[in-house]
Each structure stands twice: as C-alpha cells, then as structure tokens.
Chains A and B, each alone.
Chain A
Amino acid sequence: MSEAVVDRDQMNIVIVGHVDHGKSTVVGRLFADTGALPQGKLDSVRAECARTGKVFEYAFLLDALSDEQDQGITIDTARCFFKTASRDYIIIDAPGHIEFLKNMISGAARAEAAALIIDAKEGVRENSRRHGYILAMLGIRQVTVCVNKMDLVNYSQEHFDRIEREYREFLAGIGAVSPKQFIPIAALNGENLANRAASMPWYQGPTFLETMDGFIKAPPKVDQPLRLPVQQIYKFTAQGDDRRIIAGRIEAGRVNIGDKVVFSPSNKSSTIRSIEGFNTQPRTSIDAGWSTGFTLSEEIYITRGEVMSHVEHAPLVSTRLRANLIWLGKKPFLPNRDYKLKLGTAAVPVRIHRLLKVIDASELNSQLQKDHVGRNDVADVILETRVPIAFDLIADSESTGRFVIVDGYDVAGGGIVVESVRDDQDELRSEARLRDFNWVKGSVGLDARAARFGQRPALIMFVGKANVGKHRYAMAVERALFDHGRATYLLDGTNVLMGVDHDLTVDATQAELVRRFGEVAYLLLDAGLLVVSTTNAIGLADHSAVQALIGDTPSVVIEVDPRGVSVAPCDLRIRGDEPESEVVARVTALLTSRAILR
C-alpha cells in the first residue's frame, strides 16, 4: 500500500529585479540543478533551441510563452512548482521590464518571501529600486538579494560589497526592512544557487537554496484582533435550507460560538449562533485563514463590505485616510474625479482629497511637481470616500489596511493605509459607535419590526428657508404614506426645540441642535418608522452630520428652494409652488427607486 499523505509546507517565493539581470536564469538553473524538471521538459527546450539555431538558455524553460521566447524577456509572471527536502515551493518569476510592472506586482502580491536579483556588472538600476519599494509596500518582509553574474566581475568581493552597501542604503532611505542576506551568485554556472561555489571562497554565507529553506512561513494571524470582512449574506432556499449565513474569510483573530460581535461601519451587533461548513466536523471556534460562515442569534440587516470584529477591538471608521499607493493605470490618477476604492470586501466611491506628494518610483528621492499621479508613480495622498468605510492602519492589520483603486473597469492602483485622518463628522460618528455598541436591545429586533410593518425605517428630510412650504409638503407626504398602510411619524423641528432643546440658550451652537435632532430621529428610526421631518433649524449643510448619527439607515433630502439658487447636492429639489399631490408622487417615486418602499 501507499505511504500516508504527509503534510508539507507550501511557500510562495517571487523572483524580482531589473530586466536582464537574470531572474529567469536563476529559476531555470535552480530547477535543473535540483532535478525538479519534469522528464522531457529540458530536452524539448534544448531541441527547440537546436531547431531554431538559438543558444540554449535556462530562462527558456520558464519563458514558455511565444512572445517571450521571441523577445527574450519575461512579460508575465510565471509560476513554477519546486520542492526541496524540507518543503514545496511555488516560484513566481516576475518580469523586470518597466512595461510589465503590473505583472510583476501580480506575482509579488502572492509571495511570502522574495529574492531580488541585481546584475553585478550593471549594479543597482531603476527597477532594482522600484521593485524594492514595491516589495516593502506589498508587505513582503523576507527578502534576499542575489548579486548575479559574479563571473563577469571576476568574482570580486569588493564589487559585491559595494553593491550591497549601495542597496542597503537605498532601502534604509525608503524605510524598508533591510534584507537578511546578500548572496554572490553566477546563475548561468549554478554558482551559490544549489551548490556552493569554489570561485568565491571569501563568501561564507548560505547558498540561495539554503536561504530559501530558511524563510519562515508566517503563521495565520490568530493572535490579532478579529477581522472578518463580510463577503456576502447567503440564503439558499433549495432543498429546504433556511439558514441565513454571513460568509467571509477570517483575516485575523478567532471567534467562538456565543461571542458578541459588531459590524463596522453600520455599528450593528449580534451573537454568533453557529459556525457553518460543508463536509466538515462541527466547530465551536474558528480562526484566521478560514473562509467560513456564521448564523447569528439575532438577525440583523448587514451588507457586504462590513467588517465583523469584537466590540473592544473594532476597526477604524472614517471617510478620510492617508495612503501610500502605486499607480499603474494607463490614464493618470486625477483630483476631482470619482474612482472606486476596494478595501477588504467594501467597494465605495473615492476621490483624492489632498495630494501630499508624488514620487518617481525609480529614484524615490525625487519629488515631482505634479497635480496628478502618473503611470508607475508612487504617491502619498489623503483619500476621501463618499460614505464612511471600516479599515485599519497597515501596521495594525494587513488585510484591512490595504486597498486597490479601480478606474473604469480596471484595477489601476494599489496601496496601504498609513494614517486615519479626521473628517468633519468624526466626533458624531464616535458618539454613534459608542452608543450603538452599548445599545440595550429590547426583545423585538429591527428585523421583527421590519417584518411587521413591511418596511425598513428611513428618514425623509424637508429642508429650506422659513415659510417656503416645507411643513405643508411634509404633512402631505406623511399622510399619503400612512394612508397606504405605512408606519410613519412627522418630526417637526419646532417640537424638538420646545422640548428636548428647552435648556439650550439662544446662542447654543448649531452643532448641538443638530446632534439632538439626529438622536431624536435615531430613536424614531429604531422604532422601525418612516420618519418625515421638517425644520428651519436643520439645513441641507447639516445632512451629513445627521447621517453620521443615524448610521446606515437610508435618508433622502428634499430641498424647497423658491428662488432656484441652491446648487448643493440633494435628492430632490422643488420650488414650493408645486401641488402637494405632485410632490407626494415624486417623493414616492424616489423612495421606490431607493428600494425604501417596495
């Protein structure tokens, strides 16, 4: 009978560096020297070279695509499988040509460790630097530098030392981790790859193969705070299945049945009822690395993009974040334009709030005077999302601290979050989070109310100057909704002023008026109602503050503007001379289009 399946580590290593510095040769020769090639592969490539009159190169083994053999450069990331006595490797051979930087990134983003190849004769070149920066940004901390083609510099130690010194200085300058090991190699002859070279007795360090086996496999991030970006909520009804499953991958931490969990940015909370799986043993606890699913004790309405955590270690929530990013788009990254930010499983509209600096990635010490981020540029920016998003700083949690930016249909840039930046609603949002996380729930939940009333709560705000007809329209809209069987409430600002705001003096800050109005609205919304509000005190400019307090409850804003001068964005703008029936019809259509009414 056969031997048992032995569990072996599998590790992804990417080979990067400037074009023609010999990356593919390193990998090809390593394969040949360790007997890792399938029978026939070496012969077929040799035969092909003989047929076409080319000098055989180890790189041809990897550059299997026709374009690449014709041009003699790697244009795409190729993956090859390779094993040593201690473990299995996936070797990712990344292209070194600037044209194919995005392919290099695709390869490197999957790696756990990297080897950067520098040509001894050419020395440190622009992509040696650029790739070094990208490895740091991608979060690859185990890097070995191979100084290749040592045969072309007479195996000179002095030459090798000079390159090591220069490159270490460069990495220190960009704040990247300095590599553990620099290895002098001559890949074409197989020197210091799998076998120790007699030609460089001055080098006493490990061979490349020994260094690879010395890379440490990063354990799953079990000891960090829980992070599960929600991928989707499943309710498959086939074959009588009535489970409502919150699906996603635990990126960090651990969670147990019975744990109280919170979701950001909606601040909803519930308790883990079960851990679901198919063809697996039942579990009471699950941790980082697993793509899993849960049912919750109390059904709450949450959506993809939220991050599940424990209440005491919730992620940050803001609309502004400072980031380092690299841009790869054919078109530049411009201010005053909307893009899509994808972070974790969230996808939200984003734009540049401030461009702090743009750097030429090949030099990285030269700041460019630019008002946009060009292709292959590196930038330090403050991004602003249209709605609040949950995230972490890259130093605290990797998977929720990095993002990509989509331009049109294409991923055009990627980066890491280095700082959370305060926005105008920061204080109110913190108040709302604290309130929600500690909210004492009744036995009737939001979902139960939604089922009873046949509606989800929403705020319908009429804003505008005094005496333009807001109250009249608000009453008509509430009446119409109520008459159609909806559960409604008319929240008139005067009533809040006379009661809740009674203690405020005339010079009370606008912020406090807005805060109290928002909290009152929140209570009514928590009761499951469609709240129609009308007030002179709360204007269009206060809407985002109110929204910060009511969280992810939908709201629509209708401005009454008889003079037709207002240009600030709102959901519907009317003049005040329209018949009430017309306004009712337009508001109803708006609510239907937003799926607030069904």
Chain B
Amino acid sequence: MDHLDVLEQQSVYILREAYRHFERLGMLWSIGKDSTVLLWLARKAFFGHVPFPLVHIDTSFKLPEMIAYRDRLAREYQLTMIVGQDEATLAAKNTFPDKFKANPAMTDAEQAAARTACCSLLKAGALSATLNGTGVRRRLNLQTGVYEIENDRQPYHGVIVGARADEEGSRSKERYFSPRTKENTWDVGDQPPEFWNQFKTDYAPGTHVRIHPLLDWTELNIWEYIKREQIPTVSLYYDQGAGTRYRSLGCGPCQTPIQSTATNVDDIIAELKSGKLRNIAERSGRKQDGKHGLEELRRQGYM
C-alpha cells in the first residue's frame, strides 16, 4: 500500500460508517477539488454508487464554470443533487457585492466586516436552513436538467464534509465524526473522544453529526489522488492563458486567482512540491479568513 492507498482506505471506512449509522445522510459538495475527491471516494466506498444526496449551497456568486461542471457530473454519475440558497438575503440585496457596489469607498475594515457578514448569511445561514429543512431545497431533475422544488424537507442527521486538517487552525481540531448542536453550532472545547476507529455515531434528536473523511489529507495528497484516479476537475484550477488560476474556489467577488502558469494536474503537483506554492498557505487568496474570522464562521456551522 502506498500513502494514497492508506488515506483512501481510511476515508472509505469512514464513509461506510457514516452510511451505516445515519439514516438521513447528505454530503456537502462545494464543487471544489476536495469535495470532488470526496464524491469520488463515495463511489469507491459504494462500488460505483452514491447512495445519499449531494448538497450544494449556491451563494449565486459562484463562478459559472462551477455550476456547469456540477450539473454535468450530477447527470453523468446519476446523483441526487440538492441545491440550497438564501433567497431572501439575495432579494434584499443584503450581500457584500451589493453593499460594495452601493458604497465603493468602504475602508478595508468595513469590507472585511461586510464579507464576514455575507458569508454568515449566504453560506453558514443557508447551509443551516438547507440542512434542517427550514430553507427551500431544489433538486436536479436528471432527465430534464432543471432544478425543481424538493418536497422532502426532513433534517439531515449526518453531513459529510470535505474539510482537511491542514487548511487552517480550527480545522486541525476536528474529529472524523464531530457533533453539532440543535443550533448547528460546534462546541470546540467539548468534543467527544475518538478511540481508534470507533466514532460518534449516536446523536440526540435535533442534533446532527459532521463527518470528515478527508481530515488527514493534505492539498498535495488531493492533487496526487486526482492525478492517479483521473478525477475530472473544474477548469478554473488551471491557467487558461492569462497566467493566472484559482488555487481554491469560492465566490467570485471574494476570491483572487494566483499568478501561475500551471495548465494541468502535473504542473500543479510540481508547484506544490518544489515550486512557488510550497510555503504559501492555501487559503491566502480567501478574503474572509483573517484573525479568528473563519473559526467564528465555523462555530456558526460553516464548513
């Protein structure tokens, strides 16, 4: 077994434990490389099938390539594809891009606050509402390619998430199986013990458990695995000729591409191993992180 096999086999074990114990299970799919690897691992675990819905929180500011790619894979893999969105906030134009348009003279501090507030609504809030069923769920009709209102509004008990421990401080504290309260919050200071491969699979009514099969993977492992398995990824990760590419995918207005001429998976692996990205934090292009920003969002339920 090589190191990718070891990581893969542990992730598969975790996915199967999740499937066995959580009657209402969903997997968050951000369309990024990590959760796409997770989707692939689910097909490994269940012998080509994905026996639970994939949930995408669409802020409406995602880059269009991401949405096209999502729907293409959903139809190709015959996925149960659920999309949630904070439609009220979007209609009220209570978002960072709307506020910034209205007031382009915002100071950096004001911008940072507006970005965090926007994430808090469009991501953390919409995620919480979609998971507990208070928000509208839309489901992709695999025949017509159209999203239709989903009648099933039952809350999810188990939510599989592609968080990696090496991304930033607070994620390095996660368990493979990590409980969330009724309010969708994470009590970082009081987490259950995780002995060997015995996980927290019992949960009180109203609470749910976040499941993290990719916790031990690094960014490099992800790309090595994408290469080995030939997993399709969004074109935004590659330089299309402008000398830039995205290293991590989020919303258009809060995301800056990095300077890079990597045009394929091999180039990216080379950059990570020995090239210019070796010592630069992955989320450095994400503007909402800052001091305690992401940890605060994560306590609120952001993935």
Interface residue ranges, A against B (CB under 8 Å): 1-3, 5, 7-10, 35, 37-41, 48, 64-67, 75-81, 88, 90, 102-103, 105-106, 109-110, 138, 220, 231-232, 234, 236, 238-239, 241, 243, 245, 247, 249, 276-279, 289-291, 293, 304, 328, 340, 342, 399, 402-404, 406, 408-411, 414
- In the complex, A199 Cα to B123 Cα: how many Å? 54
Check A109 against B173 for contact (C-beta < 8 Å).
no
Could you tell me the distance in whole angstroms from the C-beta of B233 to the nearest C-beta in chain A? 16
- In the complex, A78 Cα to B165 Cα: how many Å? 8
Check B280 against A38 for contact (C-beta < 8 Å).
yes
B158-197 at interface with A (beta carbon < 8 Å): 165-166, 168-170, 172-173, 175, 188-189, 191-197
- In the complex, A103 Cα to B20 Cα: how many Å? 25
- In the complex, A76 Cα to B295 Cα: how many Å? 14
Could you tell me the distance in whole angstroms from the C-beta of A45 to the nearest C-beta in chain B? 10
Check B78 against A236 for contact (C-beta < 8 Å).
no
B interface size (C-beta, 8 A): 65
Could you tell me the distance in whole angstroms from the C-beta of A445 to the nearest C-beta in chain B? 24
Check A293 against B47 for contact (C-beta < 8 Å).
yes
Interface residue ranges, B against A (CB under 8 Å): 1-3, 5-7, 9-10, 12-13, 16-17, 19-20, 43-49, 51, 78, 165-166, 168-170, 172-173, 175, 188-189, 191-198, 200, 202-204, 215-216, 218, 224, 227-229, 266-267, 269-270, 273-274, 279-281, 284, 291-292, 295
Known: A106-B194, A403-B198. A40 touches B284 (CB 8 A): yes
Known: A79-B172, A236-B51. A67 touches B267 (CB 8 A): no
- Checking A9, A78, A278, A293 against B173 with a beta-carbon cut-off of 8 angstroms, the contacting residue is A78
Check B20 against A243 for contact (C-beta < 8 Å).
no
In this complex, what residue of B is CB-closest to A77?
Answer: B173
- Checking B1, B19, B195 against A411 with a beta-carbon cut-off of 8 angstroms, the contacting residue is B195
Could you tell me the distance in whole angstroms from the C-beta of B49 to the nearest C-beta in chain A? 4
Q: Which residues of B contact A245 (CB under 8 A)?
A: 47
- In the complex, A245 Cα to B281 Cα: how many Å? 42
- Checking B16, B20, B43, B280 against A278 with a beta-carbon cut-off of 8 angstroms, the contacting residue is B43
Q: Which residues of A contact B267 (CB under 8 A)?
A: 2
Check A106 against B193 for contact (C-beta < 8 Å).
yes
- In the complex, A35 Cα to B295 Cα: how many Å? 26
Check B9 against A277 for contact (C-beta < 8 Å).
no
Known: A106-B175, A231-B17. A291 touches B9 (CB 8 A): yes
Check B218 against A81 for contact (C-beta < 8 Å).
yes
Q: Which residues of A contact B191 (CB under 8 A)?
A: 76, 102-103, 106
Q: Which residues of A contact B281 (CB under 8 A)?
A: 38-41
Q: Which residues of A contact B274 (CB under 8 A)?
A: 3
Q: Which residues of B contact A67 (CB under 8 A)?
A: 188-189
A3-B270, A79-B215, A289-B5 given; 7 more Cβ-contact pairs under 8 Å: A5-B269, A78-B172, A102-B191, A106-B175, A234-B46, A239-B48, A239-B49
Could you tell me the distance in whole angstroms from the C-beta of B178 to the nearest C-beta in chain A? 10
Q: Which residues of A contact B203 (CB under 8 A)?
A: 409
Q: Which residues of B contact A7 (CB under 8 A)?
A: 2-3
Known: A3-B270, A399-B196. A304 touches B20 (CB 8 A): yes
A-B contact pairs, 10 of them (CB 8 A): A5-B224, A9-B3, A38-B281, A234-B46, A241-B49, A278-B46, A290-B5, A409-B203, A410-B200, A414-B193
Interface centre among B47, B200, B291 (most CB of A within 10 A): B47
In this complex, what residue of A is CB-closest to B1?
Answer: A289
In this complex, what residue of B is CB-closest to A47?
Answer: B291
Q: Which residues of B contact A77 (CB under 8 A)?
A: 173
- Checking A290, A328, A409 against B202 with a beta-carbon cut-off of 8 angstroms, the contacting residue is A409
Q: Which residues of A contact B7 (CB under 8 A)?
A: 10
- In the complex, A289 Cα to B198 Cα: how many Å? 16
Check A8 against B20 for contact (C-beta < 8 Å).
no
- Checking B166, B204, B280 against A40 with a beta-carbon cut-off of 8 angstroms, the contacting residue is B280
Could you tell me the distance in whole angstroms from the C-beta of A328 to the nearest C-beta in chain B? 5
In this complex, what residue of B is CB-closest to A276?
Answer: B47
Check A2 against B13 for contact (C-beta < 8 Å).
no
- In the complex, A37 Cα to B172 Cα: how many Å? 15
- Checking A8, A66, A403 against B292 with a beta-carbon cut-off of 8 angstroms, the contacting residue is A66
- Checking B13, B78, B224 against A249 with a beta-carbon cut-off of 8 angstroms, the contacting residue is B13
Check B17 against A105 for contact (C-beta < 8 Å).
no
Check A279 against B270 for contact (C-beta < 8 Å).
no
Q: Which residues of B contact A231 (CB under 8 A)?
A: 13, 16-17, 20
- In the complex, A518 Cα to B36 Cα: how many Å? 54
Interface centre among B43, B189, B215 (most CB of A within 10 A): B189
In this complex, what residue of A is CB-closest to B8?
Answer: A291
Could you tell me the distance in whole angstroms from the C-beta of A39 to the nearest C-beta in chain B? 4
Check A342 against B193 for contact (C-beta < 8 Å).
no
**4 cross-chain pairs, A with B, having the tightest CB-CB distances, nearest first:** A64-B169, A2-B270, A102-B193, A414-B195
Check B16 against A103 for contact (C-beta < 8 Å).
no
Check B46 against A236 for contact (C-beta < 8 Å).
yes
Could you tell me the distance in whole angstroms from the C-beta of B52 to the nearest C-beta in chain A? 12
Could you tell me the distance in whole angstroms from the C-beta of A559 to the nearest C-beta in chain B? 33
In this complex, what residue of B is CB-closest to A80?
Answer: B172
- In the complex, A342 Cα to B197 Cα: how many Å? 10
- Checking A10, A106, A241, A304 against B48 with a beta-carbon cut-off of 8 angstroms, the contacting residue is A241
Check B228 against A5 for contact (C-beta < 8 Å).
yes
- In the complex, A75 Cα to B170 Cα: how many Å? 12
In this complex, what residue of B is CB-closest to A104?
Answer: B193
- In the complex, A404 Cα to B3 Cα: how many Å? 28
Check B172 against A64 for contact (C-beta < 8 Å).
yes
Q: Which residues of B contact A239 (CB under 8 A)?
A: 48-49, 78
Check A404 against B198 for contact (C-beta < 8 Å).
yes
- Checking B3, B193, B228 against A103 with a beta-carbon cut-off of 8 angstroms, the contacting residue is B193
Q: Which residues of A contact B165 (CB under 8 A)?
A: 79, 81, 90
- In the complex, A220 Cα to B175 Cα: how many Å? 24
Check A2 against B269 for contact (C-beta < 8 Å).
yes
In this complex, what residue of A is CB-closest to B219?
Answer: A81
Check B166 against A81 for contact (C-beta < 8 Å).
yes
Could you tell me the distance in whole angstroms from the C-beta of B217 to the nearest C-beta in chain A? 10
In this complex, what residue of B is CB-closest to A412?
Answer: B193
In this complex, what residue of A is CB-closest to B165?
Answer: A79
- Checking A3, A110, A414 against B273 with a beta-carbon cut-off of 8 angstroms, the contacting residue is A3
- Checking A78, A276, A409 against B169 with a beta-carbon cut-off of 8 angstroms, the contacting residue is A78
Could you tell me the distance in whole angstroms from the C-beta of A243 to the nearest C-beta in chain B? 7
In this complex, what residue of A is CB-closest to B275?
Answer: A2
Could you tell me the distance in whole angstroms from the C-beta of B22 to the nearest C-beta in chain A? 13
Could you tell me the distance in whole angstroms from the C-beta of B284 to the nearest C-beta in chain A? 7
